[in-house]
Structure 1
Amino acid sequence: MSACAKGFVDCNVHVDVKDYYGKVLKKTSDLKSNACVAPAHPIPAFIQQALKKVHPEVTAKYYGCGLVVPECLEGCRILDLGSGSGRDCYMLSQLVGEKGHVTGIDMTEDQLEVARTYVDYHMQEFGFKKPNISFVQGYIEALTEAGLEKSSFDIIISNCVVNLSPDKKQVLAEAYNLLKDGGELYFSDVYSSGRLPEEIKNHKVLWGECLGGALWWKDLLRLAEEVGFRPPRLVTASVITVDNRELQDVLGDFKFVSATYRLFKVPKGHDKPCQVIYNGNITGAEDSFQFDCQYTFKVDEVVEVDGEVAGILNHSRFAEDFTFQPCGGPHGPCGVKPRAATVDPFELVLQLEKQSPGSATGGCCSTRSATCCK
C-alpha cells in the first residue's frame, strides 16, 4: 500500500478501499474479521431514539464503528469523515437541531447515493422545515479541495476511517484547518501495538478490515502535536479480536485495540490548575459528564483539574457548562500537580479489565450496531 501524492483519485489505496466498501461488502456478514464488533458500552436512551428514526436501508449499508457521539451538540456544525451511508449523520442531525448542521464526506459514490436518497425522508421524519444536512464526495486527506471551508466546524468526528487513509498526518492537518478555534476532533479508530511492516500494510483484506492501516498509538500522539492539536485525551479503549486464523498468521504478534480520542484546537498557553464545577446542562449528561478516561465530572461537585484540562475546558464549547474558580478560593487551595494523562489505550484496557473483568473486550468498527441499537 503506497501512499499517494496530490492526485487522490488515482491512489491505489483509495481505489482498493472504494472497491472493498462499494462492491465487496454488501452486508455485515461479508466482513472477514472481528475487527468490526460492537463495543460493550451502553447507548444512552436519547441516542437510541435518534437511531431508531434512521431509515433501515441507511442503517443496513453502514460499515462504520460502534458509535462516536461527543457531548454538547446543540447548534453545532459537525463534519463526519468517511460518513458512508449516512447513519451517524442522520442521528447527529437530530441532536444538533435545526440551528445546527451536519456534513458528511465520503469518497465512495455507492455509499453517498444511499445517504443522499433519504435526505427529504429524514427531514420530514424529524419535523425540520429545511435540511440541516449535506453530503460531499471527496477525500479525508483533501477536505478543502472538496469545497469545505476552513475554520467552519465546531466538531469533526470519524468512525474507524482514519486507518483506511494512506496519509494519516494529512488527515489530521486538514481536520485541524477546518476546525474553528476551540473546536474538537472526536474520533474512534483502530490502533496497533507497534509500527506495522509492509507485508501487513500491503494486505488488501487486512487494510479493508481496518487492521492493515492501523496507526501505532504512539504515532498518533506525535502526529497530533506536529499539526497543532493539544495532547490527545484518551476516552475509551477496547480489545479487538480477529478470530480468523489465516489473517492472524499474517498479523503475528501485533495486537490491536479500538480507542476513542479527543483532540482539541485550543491555544497552547500556560494555563494554571484550577477548580471546576460542572453545571449539569449537557443533554444526556445531566448527572455526570465523562470528559475522558481520567476525568468524570459530577454535577455541582468541585473538581481540581490540572492546567492542561483547565485550558481545554475554558477554550472549547464546554466553557459555559463549567464554573471556574482559581485555587485558594472558597473551596481551599489546589493540590493539583500536572500529571501524565493516560494516553496508552493498551494500558487503559488493562485498567478496565482489573475494574470489571471481561468488560474491555469489543471492537471499534461496529457494523452490527444496527442490531445492538434497536
Structure 2
Amino acid sequence: ILDLGSGSGRDCYMLSQLVGEKGHVTGIDMTEDQLEVARRFVDYHMKEFGYKKPNVDYVQGYIEALTEAGLQNNSFDIIISNCVVNLSPDKRRVLAEAYSVLKDGGEFYFSDVYSSGRLTEEIKNHKVLWGECIGGALWWKDLLQLAEEAGFSLPRLVTAQIITVDNKELQDILGDYKFVSATYRLFKVPKVNPTHTCQVIYNGHIKGVEDHFPFDHQYKFKANEVVTVDAEMASILTHSRYAESFTCQPPGGPCEPCGVKPEVSVT
C-alpha cells in the first residue's frame, strides 16, 4: 500500500497493522521534518504489533513525481490519500503518477474536498482558504475527466458530507460555491462497453463483511444475492482483488467465477 502525503505516519501505522507482517506500507511526503517524526516511531510500532521486522518505510518526494522519488511502476496494490491531493498544484499529474505505480487491478482510494464549480483565482490564491483545503478544491466534474485521462475507471463515490463555512468574510469571497468532503474509489482495470450489464453474486468470503459488503454509494452486496451491475463495475470485480469474492454471469447466462485472482502481495 502507498500513502500519498503520509505526514507523521499515523495512517501508515494503522495500515501496517491491517496488512500484517507479510504486507508492506510505503509513505511518501515532501516534508523531511514530518518524515523524521514518522521514522522515529517505526521500531515502537513494530514492537507493539509483534513484528520481527518493519513492514513500513518512508520516502521523501512529491506526489506529482512518484517515479522520480524511486517508486516503481506497477508496484502497488492500493494507494490511499487523506485530503492531500487537494493541496497539489497539478492534480492531473498526481492521478497520472498514481495510475503508473499501481498494479493492474489496483485501486486508488482517497478522500478530499470538492467544489460545485471551478474556483476563481481569488479563491485559489487565498491563503486561509488554501490552508483550510477549500482553495485547492477540485470541481467534481473535473475529477471525472482527470480520472478518465489517466486511464482509471469512473470514480465510484463512497461517502460525501457537506462542508459549511461559518466565517462571514470567507462566505462573501466564496459566494455561491458549495463544498463537500468525499471519498472515491478509482480502479486500474480494462475499459469495457458501457452498454453491457452483468449479474454478480457475492460469496461472503471477505472477512468482517461476510453478510453485507458495502462497496460504494451505489452498490451494496448481500451474500448469495444476485445483483445486476453496470459493465464497469463488472470489470472492477473481475480484474481487482475482489475477483474470487464474486461469481459473474451475463444476464440469463451460467454463473462462473468473475476471474482469476490477481497475484497480490500487499506492497
Where does the alignment leave 5 or more consecutive residues of structure 2 unmatched? 256-267
| TM-score under structure 2 length normalisation | 0.91
Distance 1:313 1:259 in 2: 22
Residue 258 of structure 2: aligned partner: none
- Equivalent-residue separation in structure 1 for 2:70 and 2:85 (angstroms): 20
Given that residues 12 and 26 in structure 2 are in contact (C-alpha distance below 8 angstroms), is that contact kept between their aligned partners in structure 1?
Answer: yes
1:131 and 2:54 equivalent? yes
Task: Indicate conservation of the 8 Å contact 2:192/2:231, yes or no.
Answer: no
Of the two structures, which has the highest relative contact order with CA contacts closer than 8 Å and spacing of 6 or more? 1
Q: Deviations over 1:96-144 (max 9, x none)?
A: 1111111111112222121111000000100111111111111100111
Residues 127-163 of structure 1: CA deviation (Å, up to 9, x unaligned): 1111111111111001111111110000111100101
One-letter identity of the residue aligned with 2:151: G
Partner of 2:259: none
* Distance across 1 between alignment mates of 2:35 and 2:171: 32
> Offset at 1:330?
6.6
For the residue of structure 2 that corresponds to 1:105, the secondary structure is strand
Give the counterpart of 1:282 among 180, 191, 206. 206
Distance 1:246 1:110, change over 3 A: farther
Whether the aligned pair in 1 keeps the contact of 2:5 and 2:63 (CA below 8 Å) is yes
- The answer for the alignment partner of 2:241 in structure 1 is 317
Query: Relative to structure 1, is the Cα distance of residues 210 and 273 closer, same or farther in structure 2, using a 3 angstrom cutoff?
Result: same
> Is residue 2:226 matched to residue 1:302?
yes
Q: Does residue 153 of structure 2 align to residue 241 of structure 1?
A: no
Structure 2: distance between partners of 1:108 and 1:247:
29
Where 1:268 maps in the other structure, the secondary structure is: coil
Deviations 1:224-280 (A, max 9, x none): 111111111111111011222232222222110011111111011338422211122
Q: Distance in 1 between matches of 2:53 and 2:248?
A: 38
Q: Deviations over 1:163-219 (max 9, x none)?
A: 100000000000000000011111111000110011011111211110001000000
In structure 1, the gaps of 5 or more residues are 1-77, 332-374
Please tell me whether residue 98 in structure 1 is matched to residue 21 in structure 2: yes
- 2:171 equivalent to 1:251: no
State the Cα distance separating 1:85 from its structure 2 match.
1.0
- In the other structure, the counterpart of 1:226 is 149
1:268 and 2:222 equivalent?
A: no
Equivalent residue for 2:264?
none
CA RMSD of superposed structures (Å): 1.4
Separation of aligned partners in 2, 1:194 and 1:325: 39
Secondary structure at the residue paired with 2:166?
Answer: coil
Percent identity over paired residues: 80
Write the letter of the residue equivalent to 2:100: N
- Correspondence for 1:17: none
2:251 is matched with which residue: 321, 327, 346?
A: 327
The letter for the 2-side match of 1:282 is I
Is the partner of 2:128 in helix, strand or coil?
Answer: helix
Instruction: Tell me how far apart the structure 1 counterparts of residues 45 and 63 of structure 2 sit (CA, whole Å).
Output: 25
Q: Give the structure-1-normalised TM-score.
A: 0.66
- Tell me the residue number matched to 2:140: 217
Question: Counterpart in 2 of 1:177?
Answer: 100
Aligned to 1:188: 111
More strand by share: 2
Q: 2:81 aligns with which of 153, 158, 167?
A: 158
Give the superposition deviation at 1:325: 2.7
Residue identity opposite 1:279 in structure 2: N
Corresponding residue number in structure 2 for 1:86 = 9
